Structure 1
């Protein structure tokens, strides 16, 4: 019965995605919007053809893991250190400013101080998926825009981890015996994970690759196994799976087969990213939208307008070219999948009201959609409807 349900769910998702993506291309709309719309249509709050999308949502996060792994494969450790040094100050200042904006708007709409705190925290981050999915591969790995975006998103991911740990230490969770990790844990866990990854790659994986590099199937399995092992290892020591996957990619980047692995895993990544956007649409309760539509629109407008301006100003002060600073700002002009996770954790621990959680979800979907429109129609990207802007 489960197998039938899963196969039927995949049939609905990918056949429906085919239909709506075709319509989107004919009408010159971003394909991402088609995936989100499909989730809303057939999900539990639409036609209820898929009533429990939790399994698919869990599977969809594998796409994010592969995305970060492939990103790491094209980044040498020495260049990563230089990028993080430049991006850290900009990322931290921008997080503080976005928190203040979100907190102030939530308070202005009569949300409680605790709700406003969580909403402000959720506004701090930009989407790794939207930002990197709409960035051409050549720009992502070989241009300044890609380097800055990677650095900013990585710092934001670390801040997000600390935020989740902070929220986990508050309120009362569902499990009474649940113990949250201390705030210092990520700062200890991260260097240990990097060191352990480096030693395993140097002492075990590279010798295996040299010995069996003629067997393409083995290399494919080795790459997936290493990526997911590091993802789970990071999760186990208090970090996130995404950071573990990125470190797995960076430490394997010195291998001569890094580019082969990146090309081999790209279709697998895209498969799971379709599930991610579908699950995002399916998880949104359309019946309650009227309760938060106006604050969601104001928050979304603030994010879409102010994030590019703030990044432009901060990066301009770091001697980056204005055109490049605007490019980065608009590509990061949305909130994040981490924002949705913050809303879930805070609601689960009775810190955030249902209305506050819905507000964050609505703002995420609005900014995901409109930010995609802005980038697809104005900047080079892999899914542009304009041939002049399409870059793989």
Structure 2
């Protein structure tokens, strides 16, 4: 039966409003309500929404807008300086997480190839969780926000390399391994010249027309996101470059304020689709290994980031803060699992293990941040920062 998009949207947001109200009354993070709703009405629950993958494709736009808005809040000079530090921390931590993921999965009796893929999936932290729980007005202009962005962007590049590697292992990739690393500086250069030569003159001339500026910003964000995808990068990297090249424009803050509701609309759909995609019937087959893997992620990632960042003279409190905010696996992990299953490199059981670990770490790490660090959805007035 064809899925009714109007009914699906109604179900998501009406149901989310009910569960989010319950979550707020019981002092729980609202992200948990969206994931729980997906599991409840999705194909493995009541079955009211049979094809959550269609909604997941739409919800990806929310991630694109999230990175675009983040770029608008960051000056290019600050990003360059923090990337130097993030490169070492990101590479060393990713190697450590891969080894831990491989070892734990191997101990639980998974095949060598499953263990390798799952180890690769554990290298990354969630861009959405990390940045959704990062206060926009308080931390995006501070060193911690810049540091997190640097680490997440580096992980995005590693994720691209991993996806290309999976294609090479299956013999299906036509893209050279070096292509994304050459495409990145070229895309940045084209974006900078386009903003300087075309967009800024247009903004200066038509700055009285807010609707035009809104459309221009969305068009620029999605155009560069699509361009990045075409040259072997990701939509997220393209959107971030689109944002950072406009960061010095006079309308940067206007765009940021205008797009926040649109971003939140699609992010609700993302978390719903995440819950709806979990196969509850097969969950028992990976329950113990998923819990063990989640415990490793939730403990190892904060400790590893704390130790590595302290070696670069970061404050202990900042190092712990960054570590706990990045103490989960990523939406890229889910994508790697999907691609590996489609290529025949990963078993269905291995893919379900990645999904279950992702949801457990998303939920627990959200609780840790919401109850202990400043964030926009904190249940405590003392910690709530927009």
TM-score (norm 2): 0.99
Find the residue that maps to 2:323 and give its secondary structure: helix
- Aligned partners of 1:214 and 1:180: how far apart in 2? 47
Alignment of 1:75-86 (within 5 A): 75-86=74-85
Deviation at 1:141, TM superposition (A): 1.7
- Aligned partners of 2:236 and 2:145: how far apart in 1? 18
Deviation at 1:360, TM superposition (A): 0.3
Decide which of 169, 176, 186 is 1:182's aligned counterpart.
176
Conserved 8 A contact 2:15-2:37: yes
Deviation at 1:227, TM superposition (A): 0.3
Alignment of 1:10 with 2:9, yes or no, is: yes
- In the alignment of these two chains, the number of paired residues is 386
Find the residue that maps to 1:170 and give its secondary structure: helix
1:229 aligned residue = 223
Find the residue that maps to 1:254 and give its secondary structure: coil
Deviation at 1:171, TM superposition (A): 2.2
Find the residue that maps to 1:333 and give its secondary structure: coil
For residues 231-272 of structure 1, what are the alpha-carbon distances to aligned partners after superposition, in whole Å with 9 as ceiling and x for unaligned? Answer: 000000000000000000011111110010000000000000
- Aligned partners of 2:300 and 2:51: how far apart in 1? 36
Deviation at 1:140, TM superposition (A): 3.1
Deviation at 1:15, TM superposition (A): 0.1
1:31 aligned residue = 30
- Aligned partners of 2:193 and 2:146: how far apart in 1? 26
Alignment of 1:70 with 2:69, yes or no, is: yes
- Aligned partners of 1:384 and 1:97: how far apart in 2? 31
Conserved 8 A contact 2:135-2:376: yes
- Aligned partners of 1:138 and 1:123: how far apart in 2? 30
1:126 aligned residue = 125
- Aligned partners of 2:66 and 2:278: how far apart in 1? 24
Alignment of 1:19-168 (within 5 A): 19-168=18-167
- Aligned partners of 1:124 and 1:91: how far apart in 2? 9
- Aligned partners of 2:90 and 2:314: how far apart in 1? 15
- Aligned partners of 1:54 and 1:302: how far apart in 2? 29
Conserved 8 A contact 1:139-1:146: no
Deviation at 1:179, TM superposition (A): 3.9
Deviation at 1:169, TM superposition (A): 1.4
- Aligned partners of 2:317 and 2:138: how far apart in 1? 14
2:270 aligned residue = 276
Find the residue that maps to 1:115 and give its secondary structure: helix
- Aligned partners of 1:82 and 1:317: how far apart in 2? 17
- Aligned partners of 2:300 and 2:138: how far apart in 1? 24
Find the residue that maps to 1:47 and give its secondary structure: coil
Gaps of 5+ in 1: 173-177
1:354 aligned residue = 348
Deviation at 1:182, TM superposition (A): 1.1
- Aligned partners of 1:376 and 1:74: how far apart in 2? 22
1:175 aligned residue = none
Conserved 8 A contact 2:74-2:146: no
Deviation at 1:319, TM superposition (A): 0.4
2:214 aligned residue = 220
Conserved 8 A contact 1:377-1:385: yes
Conserved 8 A contact 1:170-1:349: no
- Aligned partners of 2:138 and 2:299: how far apart in 1? 24
Conserved 8 A contact 2:298-2:328: yes
Conserved 8 A contact 2:134-2:140: no
Conserved 8 A contact 1:60-1:273: yes
- Aligned partners of 2:188 and 2:350: how far apart in 1? 37
- Aligned partners of 2:350 and 2:169: how far apart in 1? 17
Decide which of 337, 351, 354 is 1:343's aligned counterpart.
337
Deviation at 1:189, TM superposition (A): 0.6
Find the residue that maps to 2:110 and give its secondary structure: coil
Conserved 8 A contact 2:16-2:37: yes
Find the residue that maps to 1:72 and give its secondary structure: helix
Deviation at 1:18, TM superposition (A): 0.3
Deviation at 1:48, TM superposition (A): 0.5
Conserved 8 A contact 1:69-1:249: yes
- Aligned partners of 1:83 and 1:179: how far apart in 2? 32
Deviation at 1:145, TM superposition (A): 1.4
- Aligned partners of 1:139 and 1:151: how far apart in 2? 18
Deviation at 1:139, TM superposition (A): 3.4
Deviation at 1:83, TM superposition (A): 1.0
